[in-house]
Structure 1
Amino acid sequence: MAQNAKVAALTDELIHSILKFDPEANKRAYRHAKDIAKNGLRAHHYARTNQFDVQARFTGLDEKFRVLNRDDLADALDERVKEINKRLGKWIPECLSLLLQLSDQPTENSRVEALELLRPPTPPPELTWKKILEDDPYSDEEIWKDIDYGADSSEDEILAPKKEVPKLSPPTSVDEDDTYDPEGCVVAIDAAAIDELKEAQFWKHKAETEDEELGITELEAVRETLFMLAGLQTSLFHADRRVGPEYKLRHAMTKTANHLLAELGDIGRTVHQLRQWVKRPSTLPLIQTFEAAVSRRLHEYDRSLALLQQRYLVPEKPTAVSLLELHDNVRSLSRPILRLAQLITEIEPQLLVNPFVHLEILFDQVNLAQLTLEQDVFDFLSNIFFECLQTYLKPMRRWMEDGALGFNDETFFVFENDSGSEASSLWHDRFVLRRGQENKLRSPAFLEPAAQKIFNAGKSVVFLKELGIHTSLLPTNVEEPRLDHKTVCGTSAGSPLSPFSELFQAAFQTWIESKYSLASTVLREYLFNICGLVQTLDNIRIIYLSANGSVFQEFADAVFERMDNNQRAWNDRFLLTELARGIFSLELRKGQSERIVVRSIRKSSKSPSDSVKALTHVLLDYALPWPLMNIIQRSSVPIYQQLYTFLLQCYRSKYLLQRISPQSVRHIKDSQLRQLSFKLRQRLIWFADVLRSYLTATVIDASCADMKAAMTMAENIDEMSAIHTKYVARLQDQALLSDNLKPIHRAIISLLDLAVLYSQHCSSQAAPAKSIPRHKAEKSSRRKSVILSKPEEDDSDSSHVGDDGESAASRLPAAARSGEGLEGVDREFDRLLRFVTAGLRSVGRVGAEPAWEMLADRLEWEGKRDI
């Protein structure tokens, strides 16, 4: 019960100190506050530390040290843990747990050699008779010799007579008697001095009536004012720094003197508030540094006040006492400290929410002081700014040099988003910038222009650590440029001519470059020279984008032969993988072809030769090393595969058309049908050639050249990744593969499918007429009717065409006679070609893409010539 009463009393005292209002005035609020305090202070029973858990953690540390090849550290830790476990005491697990919580990266910060400093000095060996006799041996004969005790005696010596020292002065009473008279040591009291001292203590004087005012001298007013400014209690000024009405200057007008004292009191009140703010404790290092800087300025301010007091207490020359002069001196002396107090009043409510707001406001105030030519305020605030900035630079320096972040440091604008992310996405996913409201960066505004460089510098160091080359290639003794008032603003007496913001940004960029350039350059050279970034981009272009047309043609022909042979496993991924590796190994460097893997999405229930869309089921993958995957991101691979499929479909169309020789067309007896067949063959081959030429020469070659030129100029992975992403997006747009160009792309696929239909018609015409059973003929007729009227459904982007881009095969009627089928193909070709050219011109005008206009001109050229 006594404990509960004590807690209740302390709770009431805590509520009174925080709320600062009378409980009787607002009982409901007081009762609510008391309930909250009781809930927060309710007694808790905490369990003891689990000694087995502590022992397991030490065992884990031992294993970790040995895995990291720190056997010396593991042995030293094990020896000391065993030693402390031998001691009896119930608090041993708590002590060990505390040591575990205090540990900070022991593998990096611990040095076993330092343990020698804790070893107690070796005690001297014990002194024995053996050691004594070794140093000073003795013989038996010398022990029993008689000792002459009178040899050294001075009993018989004759003492020399003492010389009398002549006395230089006559004897005094002191020589005669050793006693002192205490009254002779007492100084006589000067009654006049005491009266003068009492008279000077004006605060002890009492007025005879309530309305009477006590007169004071100007020197007394100056002394009281200086005491008040220094934060001491005075009689002339009350606790709130108001002038007491009971005093007045004897030789000055009351209103004039009170006005000067009131202004001095305002200055003292502001300085006193600043002193009170400094006394409040803070836990954040940034605010603690700011408080320490303000405290030092207050100390310097007090020293300046002491020098003013010295002029009146110990004057070197006759000095006129003037309250007006003191007013001017104090105003000039206090102007910087008053500006600082005003600044703190503005930022105090925001410090808990934004711990670096004082840096932003200090930066703005320094710029303002330079513009208004307030030299003293400029020097004063700029020095405080750079002192506070050094604390903010510490986590920044640690991040840029070691790639390390402080534990739960919310004041720094970089944080680890996913520590378990794969190395292939390290650059983009593991670390992110901390942002606040409206997606604004959580950093001082003047650092935002350099925030991305700081972010990239730390990520470069982390990247090099993952590669294992951080300590071997980066020197550790690089001198860091200074970032202070002297370096930025110079040593001249006046303000610099250039704006402070520009001077700071220039100096800050120099500071960043000292840490950024080296790591970024090493990483860039590693990606280009060791990882082979350019060579990998060339390999991707060979595999996906037909950089070597003969090799790509050879691979495509091999796939097409398997399709046309109606093999059930034509898209078997193992066989196609071996096929691709064997063909592309002729163009790629040794070992690079082993990274190629062919994937088969699904197997179609229909014949693969019915449409070029069957090629979307076969995809190529090229395995990249993880450092390059941070540049060539996973999101780019599907676009490469779309381009590869699109090119393969063009090759497929041309492959089928080339298999129909002109001689086989000449065998068609109907001259009109033969002429139409020649026309369709030429138009379809021409379309396939124009499309392939557009993709390879106009789109891929030009974009790849621009991408390589920009890639060689990039400084970091961010720029490289952005260049590659822009390059892939440009390929997707110009190759008509983006979402807003799907109708045009589907129409082009339908045009390529017309080549498949034309090939089937010609193959059926060229086949020798044989007697076919009726049921087989009907089955074949039904199969052709299905092919012409219902094309294979596909879930890919190329499976459907809306509006005028509808699938060509689905629009053709069931052709019972070959002549009607060819005429339908010819009409569908004209319709789709007009749709494609009109669509290209429309999107070309909207998107301002000259490549689309160029393709439309080339496609319309055939139509105009035909007309």
Structure 2
Amino acid sequence: MAHTARLDALAEKLVTTTTHISQNDARFQALRRIAVHGISDQRHVRTNPFTVQRTLAGLLEKFIVLNRDDLAEALQDRLDQLPSSNKWLPDILAFLLQLSHRPTEETHLEDVKALGLPLIPRCEVTWEQILAEDPLDEEGIWDNVDRGYHSSGDDTTVNEELHSEHTTSTNATSVNEDLLAIAKLHLTRPDPSLLDDIVNFRKHCQLPANPSEVQILSELTLIREIIAMMNGLPSLLHQRDEASHALHIRAKITVEGVGVSTMRSLLNSCVRMGTNLDFLRRWCACKQKVAHLESIQAAVEKLLGALQRELAALERSYVYPSMDTCVSIIKVFSELEQLVRPLTHLSTLIWRHQKFVSDGMASFSFLNALYDQVCMSHLSGDGAFAAVAKVLWASFDTYLRPLNNWIQSGSISSEDSDNFFIIDAKSDCVAGKMWHDRFSLRTSKNGETFCPKFIAPFVHRIVTIGKTKAFMRLLDPAVGIDSVTYGNVPFLPTFDDVQRQIAEHPCLPFPQLIEDILDKWLISAETSGKCIIRDTLMENYGLRSYLMAMPYVFFARDGTLFQSFAETVFRRISYNSGMWQGDSFLLTELAQNTIGNAPGVDTESIAVLLQPQGEGSSQLESYVTQKLSTLRLKYAVSWPVQNIIEQGTQKVLSAIFVFLLQIYHIKFLLSPELFSFRMCRSAGFQISKAMAAAIQLRFRLICFVDILIAHITTTTSSQSQMMRSQMESADSIDSMANIWTAYVQRLETVLLLSLNLKSINSAIISILVSGEQFANIWRNFIQSSPTCSQEISSLVRAHSQNVDISTVEQAIDKHFSFAVAGLRAVSRASGVAALEALAERLEWNGG
């Protein structure tokens, strides 16, 4: 669509420039269709570079056969020097071959070599050289001096110089002096006496000094004075108030047969129109600091010039009538009212605009008021619509130029930075945060965007298009994408486009017309860059590989590798708890050797960090579940991918990984102990009620952690698959970033890691800590009891932890009930069905 619109625009300009006919002409559409067909004709294919290469090779061979080895060597040397990167090189060479004519006979190497020689600039003559040849102190050099233009003696001596005999020095001069004298004959000097009659007439027509005396004038005289007042010239009717610059009627003036009050009412209306025009002339003389206000000034000056020409034509119709004309001041007033109406509207708007407090939005307030006036004129069918709309579009066209530069190049010029709604806030920000941190919106004191209101609906699209171009400019050096391939050069909408839209859709309101025009303009700028930037990030910068590797790294998609990493960490902690005091290098190496072996995972990108615990906590006395909360898993990505996957969101992925470790740690502690009970049962030992309670508690804990692990792995798998499919169909960086953010937020909610679900997460962690306490009781009993006879007493009281099983079970029941109730409440409030399913499974297995 953008290509078709561009062809139509080119065809219209071609027809208008060539035929000089307007678009309203009946022949215009037929000529435009012919031009479009000619432009879009694809029968003229590109030049075949192999054909050009064979032709040049044949030409070289021809030179050698004709014993012109010098030409062959010179041509071959120049062909070797041509840049191979220019895609138009075959077309240029083919064009030169077609222009060539008998090159063997007509080519001279001396002429060819002379083309490459540098031009020797001519030495300018200096005053020192002139004075050295002809000094100014020679005798008699000032005897004959030719006075310049407007010299004091010109008026009396020109004719004498022409008719007098030349002196010896005059005869010796060049002929240029004769030409100068002849030229002076053709000069037209103003004659002040021509204005004497007009001055005397104005003095004769002066009104009496007594303002109460009624002055009767003819209608023709009144028309002449009114037209003079409209032109901003002095007249017999009005005088200016120097303080307010308002115009007032000088005296009681009427015509024969008309009452003074009636005529005064008409003249007051004329004076009000003259006051508005005078205000516009004074405003146009003021210097504006804002570019689009300068454009409004220029458009108003054009309207004033057009009004002046209309007034001159009106005055000419009475001074030199072509037919018998009835002089009517009412008719002239009606014509003037129609001519001045657009300027009256503009004068009122500008006067109100000057009353605004300067808060940085005053110029846009005036632009918004002008836009509202155009909308009202279009809605009411006012005849002033075309003129006022042209003034609006002159300002709008100027305002769109920095926008056009932004959407084409993604840059903001220093000249437009003060009045542009986009700020290059952090030009030195790191590349990984360029999309989110570098550019921001300029807002006013009340929080509104610093732009006209008819641009406000398109602000987000404009910002996105420009940021995309700026982002692609950073990718170009590495990817080699030409700027033409990822963005068409849009044509700025013109006032002709507005008039065409109005003619095609006369019933549409003006705001809808402007919205459609701006929408087409932005579509032409954003059509081709969307898919390219997505494919570039996916293929060249590892976004797709990161999305595929993420489940293996953070979500234990390969359970064997995750189990190997987790159990090694658990054993090292149990053997040497001091290793958890800051040795991140060993953990990083372990993660790279285990999780890094998963398919598609970059081993060098994995890193494990340990955050120090808060003050007052002892790492040696805390449980492993609490120690694991200080672990942070990171996976490095390239800077373009960082603009989509913000570094803050990787903390959530790391928290999911740690949550899995904490849950799996309880399963690791409780799983092997089942075989000890089988040995006791085989020995014929009778299990007591306390022992049965311990077995039941262990079973509940194992079911609890299995349900949590299944919930985490299935949720992350389904959510990750859905996120990858959405990423593949995204059309912009904003879309991909929003998809990623929504994906992380869903994981936070479903996996109970968000801030508003911290209490439920804390309850689950407390259950895991209680499970670790129970596992320590069990492990200490197994290690300290050689026979099964001491099992009951050891289970009733744990000597190392000073916590009995009943206390652990009570704590687990308390936190379990709170967690299940919290899951149900959150599921009902947020509508997340997965949390309701998790609560039911936990209650069914752990009840």
TM-score, length-normalised on structure 2?
Answer: 0.70
Q: What pairs up with 1:211-360 in 2 under 5 angstroms?
A: 212-239=213-240, 240-350=246-356, 352-353=358-359, 354=361, 355-360=363-368
1:447-493: per-residue Cα shift (whole Å, max 9, x none)? 11111121122222222222234984221894523412221231766
**Is 1:620 aligned to residue 636 of structure 2?**
no
1:113-150: per-residue Cα shift (whole Å, max 9, x none)? xxx999854799xxxxxxxxxxxxxxxxxxxxxxxxxx
1:624-652: per-residue Cα shift (whole Å, max 9, x none)? 11111111112112211111110111111
Q: Is the 8 A contact 1:369 1:378 kept in 2?
A: yes
**Is 1:852 aligned to residue 838 of structure 2?**
no
Instruction: Tell me which residue corresponds to 1:397.
Output: 404
Instruction: Tell me which residue corresponds to 2:588.
Output: 577
Instruction: Tell me which residue corresponds to 1:694.
Output: 711
* Alpha carbons of structure 1 residues 220 and 830: separation in structure 2 relative to 1, 3 Å: same
* Alpha carbons of structure 1 residues 490 and 262: separation in structure 2 relative to 1, 3 Å: same
1:545-571: per-residue Cα shift (whole Å, max 9, x none)? 223333222221222232233364367
Alignment partners' CA distance in 1, 2:330 and 2:249: 16
* Alpha carbons of structure 1 residues 210 and 298: separation in structure 2 relative to 1, 3 Å: closer
Instruction: Tell me which residue corresponds to 2:741.
Output: 725
**Is 1:422 aligned to residue 438 of structure 2?**
no
Q: Is the 8 A contact 1:664 1:766 kept in 2?
A: no
Of residues 467, 471, 475, the one that matches 1:463 is 471
Alignment partners' CA distance in 2, 1:565 and 1:359: 75
1:738-761: per-residue Cα shift (whole Å, max 9, x none)? 222222212211222233223223
* Alpha carbons of structure 1 residues 309 and 862: separation in structure 2 relative to 1, 3 Å: same
Greater shift in the superposed pair: 199-208 or 845-854? 199-208
Alignment partners' CA distance in 2, 1:624 and 1:449: 35
* Alpha carbons of structure 1 residues 643 and 197: separation in structure 2 relative to 1, 3 Å: closer
Q: Is the 8 A contact 2:341 2:384 kept in 1?
A: yes
Alignment partners' CA distance in 1, 2:559 and 2:280: 78
Q: Is the 8 A contact 2:408 2:489 kept in 1?
A: no
Matched residue count: 636
* Alpha carbons of structure 1 residues 494 and 537: separation in structure 2 relative to 1, 3 Å: closer
Q: Secondary structure at the match of 1:619?
A: strand
**Is 1:383 aligned to residue 384 of structure 2?**
no
Q: What pairs up with 1:22-421 in 2 under 5 angstroms?
A: 120-121=121-122, 203-204=204-205, 212-239=213-240, 240-350=246-356, 352-353=358-359, 354=361, 355-374=363-382, 376-407=383-414, 409-421=417-429
Of residues 809, 823, 827, the one that matches 1:826 is 809
1:712 deviates by 2.9
Q: Is the 8 A contact 2:777 2:798 kept in 1?
A: no
Greater shift in the superposed pair: 828-837 or 221-230? 828-837
Q: Secondary structure at the match of 1:223?
A: helix
AA matched with 2:205: K
Instruction: Tell me which residue corresponds to 2:726.
Output: 710
Alignment partners' CA distance in 2, 1:827 and 1:205: 113
* Alpha carbons of structure 1 residues 832 and 222: separation in structure 2 relative to 1, 3 Å: same
1:479-534: per-residue Cα shift (whole Å, max 9, x none)? 52341222123176698221111111111122123233344443222112211323
Instruction: Tell me which residue corresponds to 2:761.
Output: 745
Unaligned runs of 5+ in 2: 1-116, 126-196, 241-245, 788-793
* Alpha carbons of structure 1 residues 247 and 488: separation in structure 2 relative to 1, 3 Å: closer
1:681-727: per-residue Cα shift (whole Å, max 9, x none)? 22111111111111121x32333233233333332222222221222
* Alpha carbons of structure 1 residues 463 and 838: separation in structure 2 relative to 1, 3 Å: same
CA RMSD, aligned part only? 3.2
AA matched with 1:577: T
Of residues 646, 651, 666, the one that matches 1:653 is 666
Q: Is the 8 A contact 2:215 2:252 kept in 1?
A: yes
1:274 deviates by 1.2
Alignment partners' CA distance in 2, 1:117 and 1:389: 48
Alignment partners' CA distance in 1, 2:369 and 2:408: 28
1:839-865: per-residue Cα shift (whole Å, max 9, x none)? 22233333333222221111111255x
**Is 1:757 aligned to residue 773 of structure 2?**
yes
**Is 1:629 aligned to residue 642 of structure 2?**
yes
Alignment partners' CA distance in 2, 1:572 and 1:762: 30
Alignment partners' CA distance in 2, 1:712 and 1:411: 38
Q: Is the 8 A contact 1:531 1:627 kept in 2?
A: yes
Q: Secondary structure at the match of 1:356?
A: helix
AA matched with 2:483: L
1:227 deviates by 0.9
Q: Is the 8 A contact 2:704 2:846 kept in 1?
A: no
Of residues 496, 515, 523, the one that matches 2:533 is 523
Of residues 842, 845, 853, the one that matches 2:825 is 842
* Alpha carbons of structure 1 residues 319 and 494: separation in structure 2 relative to 1, 3 Å: farther
Greater shift in the superposed pair: 842-851 or 261-270? 842-851
* Alpha carbons of structure 1 residues 403 and 494: separation in structure 2 relative to 1, 3 Å: closer
Q: Is the 8 A contact 1:632 1:721 kept in 2?
A: yes
Alignment partners' CA distance in 2, 1:515 and 1:117: 44
AA matched with 2:537: L
1:327-380: per-residue Cα shift (whole Å, max 9, x none)? 111111111111111111121233854233332122211111111111x22211
Alignment partners' CA distance in 1, 2:448 and 2:776: 62
Instruction: Tell me which residue corresponds to 2:182.
Output: none
Of residues 620, 623, 640, the one that matches 2:653 is 640
Instruction: Tell me which residue corresponds to 1:437.
Output: 445
AA matched with 2:330: L
Alignment partners' CA distance in 1, 2:622 and 2:374: 76
1:835 deviates by 1.9
- Identity across matched positions, percent: 28
Instruction: Tell me which residue corresponds to 1:104.
Output: none
Q: Is the 8 A contact 2:611 2:630 kept in 1?
A: yes
Alignment partners' CA distance in 2, 1:327 and 1:348: 29
Q: Secondary structure at the match of 1:667?
A: helix
Instruction: Tell me which residue corresponds to 2:138.
Output: none
Q: Is the 8 A contact 1:597 1:622 kept in 2?
A: yes
AA matched with 2:293: I
Q: Is the 8 A contact 1:665 1:677 kept in 2?
A: no
1:311 deviates by 1.3
Alignment partners' CA distance in 2, 1:637 and 1:491: 50
AA matched with 2:826: V
* Alpha carbons of structure 1 residues 618 and 269: separation in structure 2 relative to 1, 3 Å: closer
* Alpha carbons of structure 1 residues 481 and 406: separation in structure 2 relative to 1, 3 Å: closer
Unaligned runs of 5+ in 1: 1-115, 125-195, 772-779, 788-813, 816-820
AA matched with 1:295: E
Q: Is the 8 A contact 2:213 2:251 kept in 1?
A: no
TM-score, length-normalised on structure 1?
Answer: 0.68
1:207-248: per-residue Cα shift (whole Å, max 9, x none)? 698865342211111111111111110112323533332543
Q: Secondary structure at the match of 2:288?
A: coil
**Is 1:599 aligned to residue 609 of structure 2?**
yes
AA matched with 1:310: R
Instruction: Tell me which residue corresponds to 1:138.
Output: none
**Is 1:545 aligned to residue 555 of structure 2?**
yes
Alignment partners' CA distance in 1, 2:592 and 2:746: 29
Q: Is the 8 A contact 2:426 2:437 kept in 1?
A: yes
Instruction: Tell me which residue corresponds to 2:130.
Output: none
